Structure 1
């Protein structure tokens, strides 16, 4: 778990200010996400379909992984301080992946009359493979 960023402390470039570990992706979680999101693509829950499509197993929804990264960001900063959040998918997240979401300060700047930080974000699995990369801008 991660705690809300202490707004009285000034971060510096290079500081890791977002960090969250996610429980291993399992089939039950994928099925629950199908129901919650309305994304019922069988590639995420039907192993026979996944194998027929050339994959060894089902795999996570990209938006589920993005949701974990967004949650890590909003755990570190109140949502009313998040000015932007964007990601790009880098690799498939397999069943069993243990994810870690992190964010480091890439830039400090002023905009709109407030101090802001650009945060470089990643989600990696237990093998260090990047599954998702992105950035956020937050008001400090």
Structure 2
């Protein structure tokens, strides 16, 4: 976790540096166990390809969770995110060899009352935007 970000130290337009999140099939199996989502598109290559996917794909909620992690790590407080929403625009394809990389960056879009800011997130994997309309309301110190 990074140092706590203070509300007075950020302005509209403040950029949150890009961070990468490596994803491999072991991550997906662990997430399946934690979430109870054992859909075989997330762990069986043959099944994923049989239903028209290019390969195994990460759970959408796993991908979304990495965005929440990105913002809470930036704020320096795991409880800082008070509202968060995204739309899924493309799957994160996770090949068996080499896995995938999720790249997330952000920008403060608006300052609100009560030490809260709106952060717009950009999330990409394999040069493709995987989350759209990704925004988090974050309470800063």
* TM superposition score normalised by structure 1: 0.83
Question: Would the aligned equivalents of 2:7 and 2:116 in 1 still touch at CA under 8 Å?
Answer: no
How many Å separate the matches in 2 of 1:122 and 1:5?
A: 22
Match of 2:67 among 62, 66, 69: 69
| Matched residue SS, 1:98 | strand
Stretches of structure 1 lacking an aligned partner (at least 5 in a row):
none
Partner of 1:27: 25
* Number of residue-to-residue matches in the alignment: 134
How many Å separate the matches in 2 of 1:72 and 1:32?
A: 19
The answer to whether the aligner puts 1:15 opposite 2:14 as a matched pair is yes
Partner of 2:88: 89
How many Å separate the matches in 1 of 2:100 and 2:135?
A: 22
Match of 1:48 among 40, 46, 49: 46
What is the RMSD of the two structures over their aligned residues, measured on CA atoms? Answer: 2.0
Give structure 1 regions of 4+ aligned residues with deviation exceeding 3 angstroms.
none
Partner of 2:122: 122
